[in-house]
Amino acid sequence: MTESITITDNRTGESVEIPILNGGVDSGGWAKLLGNVWFSDDAFSHTAIGESSITQIVGAEGILRYRGYPIEQLALRSTYLEVAYLLLFGELPTPDQFDGWRDEITHHTYIHENFRKRFMESFRYDAHPMGVLVSSLAALSTYYPEAKDIEDPEVRMRQIVRLIAKVPTMAAAAHRFSIGMPFVYPDNDLDFTSNFLSMMFRVAEPRYHCHPAVRRALEILFILHADHSQNCSTTTARVVGSAHADPYSVVAAACAALYGPRHGGANEAVLAMLRDIGSYENVDPFIADVKAGKCRLMGFGHRVYKNYDPRARIIKEAADEVFQLAGRSPLLDIALKLEEVALADEYFISRRLYPNVDFYSGLIYEALKFPTNMFTVLFAIPRTAGWLAHWSEMLERSSRISRPRQLYVGHPERDYVPMAERTPSA
Ligand code: CMC
């Protein structure tokens, strides 16, 4: 038997029965009965933007899967490039497919000299690397005008490869510029993650060698951040993409959404919060301020997870190995104490607020020697694959432009008043 809901218009007594499919009801059924009554859903809390086969989250149970594969298995056994392939193509690659994919990405890591020197290095000396990345992504569209041809699958795939390959190069370039260090060219003999670390940290040595534990920790962080269904930035990507903007503009828009402290910017905000709290003794007064509504406990809470964010659990485990290598951060004790106090407090329990991915990620990034202003950039690098997977899926499945309605609550019609006759409004 098909499950369904019935809606009755009490003004007319007419009803419509709408089947429940994949946990949702088609708004077309509602529209048939209630053509001019809009479904009001501030912040899209109860709206599904469409169907997707990429990432599944079961918030109540703390489950996250990419294309059906549990995030725990991918974090343990996969690599970021393999996960990017999985997100984009739907299946894990065979050895030949992976070799071809790695080759493609590796041979698109360079960015145009003129683009880096004249555009990226024209920012103020202390420019935030996220601001530089957002602008650079948008500017890149001017270097690849063919990208406007979004109907051609081959052209689309070429831009996807370019974006995944070039975002780490641009990210590292933004960092080097901000600290006054010369740019380090990509080293195509290195794997994706080692190459990024080399572009970030290499100084005068002929080849940058990173500790395998450092490389692996970053790889895990990249895997965990690669996609997360319809979060704010991915929805932005789909909405901008629905207007048939080119993929560079799409990813720039998504990246701008990620920059916000309620989204990807939270990892940077967590570190600032931990530094402000400063010591173990200040945890209780800080929690009291949060409960009094004076501030938020950054890195806590999630629209979808009403349980421990599985990514936070994996990061917490990975952190141990990094801290053994780099030494334990005094901020970790503050974070652990905050978690302990919050998870036992009625305010957080009743609202089902748990640590999210950003609560511990900043501490690992810090231990890996990344400056705080690079934390959100480190989120954007792997999320590029997720944004592009959703963009491709959206173009293949839907041809309509995103265009929600609004409930107008402004003035009714009124006549224009000449300036001299106006009285100041409150
Ligand atoms: N600290 C204190 N109270 C909170 C927090 C928090 N971090 N998050 C939610 N609440 C309270 C909120 O005040 C509200 O209480 P009340 O019902 O009394 O008004 C209730 O919990 C529900 O909150 P909400 O704002 O309606 O929840 P939301 O689903 O709209 O927001 C969120 C989700 C992630 C924006 C929010 O939890 C938040 O601001 N967290 C801190 C920022 C953060 O860590 N963001 C990273 C999210 S995970 C990575 C990513 O997506 O980028």
| pLDDT tens digits, one per residue of 110-159 | 999 999 999 999 999 889 999 999 999 999 999 999 999 999 999 999 99
- pLDDT (0 to 100) of residue 1: 66
Minimum-distance ligand 1 atom for the alpha carbon of 258: 52
- The tens digit of pLDDT for each residue in 165-183 reads 999 999 999 999 989 999 9
Question: Nearest C-alpha to atom 3 of ligand 1 is from which residue?
Answer: 296
- DSSP secondary structure string for all residues of 365-405: HHHTT--GGGHHHHHHHHHHHHHHHHHHHHHHH--SPP---
Whole-number Cα distances in Å, 37 to 20, 40, 304, 353:
20, 9, 27, 34
Q: What distance in Å separates the CA atoms of residue 378 and residue 361, rounded to the nearest whole number?
A: 10
Q: What distance in Å separates the CA atoms of residue 287 and residue 347, rounded to the nearest whole number?
A: 10
Cβ atoms of residues 363 and 329 within 8 Å? yes
Quick check: is 302 catalytic? yes
pLDDT tens for the 426 residues of the chain, in order: 689 999 999 999 999 999 999 999 999 888 888 888 998 999 999 999 989 999 999 998 999 999 999 999 999 999 999 999 999 999 999 999 999 999 999 999 999 999 999 999 999 988 999 999 999 999 999 999 999 999 999 999 999 999 999 999 999 999 999 899 999 999 999 999 999 999 999 998 988 989 999 999 999 999 999 999 999 999 999 999 999 999 999 999 999 999 999 999 999 999 999 999 999 899 999 999 999 999 999 999 999 998 889 999 999 888 888 898 888 888 999 999 999 999 999 999 999 999 999 999 999 999 999 999 999 999 999 999 999 999 999 999 977 999 999 999 999 999 999 999 999 887
- Tell me the whole-structure pTM to 2 decimals: 0.94
Ligand 1 centre distance from Cα of residue 301 (Å) = 5
- The tens digit of pLDDT for each residue in 68-88 reads 999 999 999 999 999 999 999
Task: Identify the CA nearest to 186 among candidates 203, 198, 201, 171.
Answer: 198
Question: Nearest C-alpha to atom 16 of ligand 1 is from which residue?
Answer: 351
Cβ atoms of residues 66 and 83 within 8 Å? yes
Ligand 1 centre distance from Cα of residue 196 (Å) = 32
Cβ atoms of residues 189 and 202 within 8 Å? no
Quick check: is 276 catalytic? no
Task: List pocket residues of ligand 1, CB cut-off 6 Å.
Answer: 231, 262-264, 266, 290, 296-303, 351, 353, 356-358
Ligand 1 centre distance from Cα of residue 62 (Å) = 16
Q: Which of 227, 246, 309, 358 is catalytic?
A: 358
Ligand 1 centre distance from Cα of residue 352 (Å) = 10
Quick check: is 126 catalytic? no
Q: What 3-state class would DSSP assign to 297? A: coil
Angle among Cα 347, 350, 353 to the nearest 5 degrees reads 75
Cβ atoms of residues 331 and 271 within 8 Å? yes
Question: Nearest C-alpha to atom 17 of ligand 1 is from which residue?
Answer: 351
Cβ atoms of residues 246 and 147 within 8 Å? yes
